[in-house]
Amino acid sequence: MLNKPQFTDRLPLPARALVYASVLFVIITMGIPMLNVLAVSFSTRIKSDAPGLILFPAPFTFEAYDFIWNYVNLWKPFLNTVYVAVTGMLLHVFVSSLAGYVLIHKEMPYRKLLITFVMLTMTVPGELTLVSLYEANKQLHLINTYTALILHGAAGGFSILLMRNYFSSVPPSLPEAARIDGASDFSIFRKVYFPLSIPGIMTIGTLNLIGRWNNITFTVTLISDMAKWTMPVVLRWLLFSPNSVSGTDYVFANSKMAAVILTAFPLALLYFFTQRFFTGGVMLGSTKE
């Protein structure tokens, strides 16, 4: 009998060595700074301000988290961020999904022109619109209000096109059956299209929530009242302001790193629970016609 050829997907030794070296390089360049931030946040005040790289806290303490949360009142900007990010994200998902639903109707007048316009909005950097956005919000008396932060980005070109691709893949027989049963267009959108596009909805929701949570530029442009600042703005002030003090208390390095961890942890937790929707949503939505 002839021996069957043995197939293997193992890379040649030089290629494997290059892959391992690349992975090790990424771990070192990204992992060590993250480990340093985590270790400093759990270190004592004196040790955290000492020169040198800290990779293991000794002794281990939560004093930085207690200080930054209670004495600096970080819980206030945290709640501000949760309110603005979650409310704005829900509005973004609804408006973008509704716009995507409208654009799947081929009988809609100027449909292609509208799709082109949506695509063009993705080519304009957000920084170029700051002056006009500030003036618009000023005329609407929305300066120093949460409403301005929530309404900003209520719809996005990428989200609209992604949801349009998802809705286009829904079998036409489903909305036709619903329409025969007397369902309105909004009912068809809510009961047929929306439930069948959960991966896409989770994708645009996750991306928008991350963007809103990390937003600094637009927030400092419209919000000058420190009581309404969000977590990233307060974190920027703590890290880079030479006068980052709370009353008479100096903010040590361990408290600053604790603020970094508290700002990033909710997003890491969010990605942990939504990564299967996020990955599948981007890939599937980008290939559907």
Q: Would you state the pLDDT for residue 144?
A: 92
Residue for token digits 């361990």?
Answer: 254
pLDDT, tens digit (0-9, with 9 covering 90-100), for 151-178? 998 988 999 998 998 888 888 888 888 8
Dist CA 46 CA 41 (whole Å): 12
Q: Which whole number is the average pLDDT over 125-151? A: 90
Q: Would you state the pLDDT for residue 95?
A: 94
CA dihedral in degrees (269, 271, 276, 282; nearest 10)?
A: 170
Structure tokens belonging to residue 37: 């931030």
Residue for token digits 């040590």?
Answer: 252
Dist CA 100 CA 207 (whole Å): 17
pLDDT, tens digit (0-9, with 9 covering 90-100), for 55-75? 888 788 998 898 888 877 888
> Quick check: 1 pLDDT over 90?
no
Q: Would you state the pLDDT for residue 106?
A: 84
Q: Would you state the pLDDT for residue 247?
A: 46
Structure tokens belonging to residue 65: 């988290």
Q: Would you state the pLDDT for residue 272?
A: 80
> Quick check: 249 pLDDT over 80?
no
CATH superfamily of 73-287: MetI-like (1.10.3720.10)
End-to-end CA distance of the chain: 50
Q: List the single range of 42-56, 98-112, 266-280 with lowest mean pLDDT.
A: 266-280
Q: Comparing 95 with 9, which gets the higher pLDDT?
A: 95
As a whole number of Å, the CA-based R_g of the chain is 25
Q: Would you state the pLDDT for residue 242?
A: 55
DSSP 53-83: --SS-SS---HHHHIIIIIS-THHHHHHHHH
How high is the mean pLDDT of the chain?
A: 84
> Quick check: 3 pLDDT over 70?
no
Q: Would you state the pLDDT for residue 281?
A: 52
Dist CA 253 CA 262 (whole Å): 14
pLDDT tier at 9, thresholds 50, 70, 90: low
Dist CA 270 CA 277 (whole Å): 11
Q: Which whole number is the average pLDDT over 100-128? A: 87
pLDDT tier at 235, thresholds 50, 70, 90: confident
> Quick check: 12 pLDDT over 70?
yes
> Quick check: 244 pLDDT over 60?
no
CA dihedral in degrees (105, 108, 111, 114; nearest 10)?
A: -100
pLDDT tier at 284, thresholds 50, 70, 90: low
pLDDT tier at 90, thresholds 50, 70, 90: very high
Q: Would you state the pLDDT for residue 289?
A: 44
> Strand pairing partners for 245?
250
Domain chopping of the chain, boundaries: 13-67, 73-287
Threshold 0.95, pTM exceeds: no
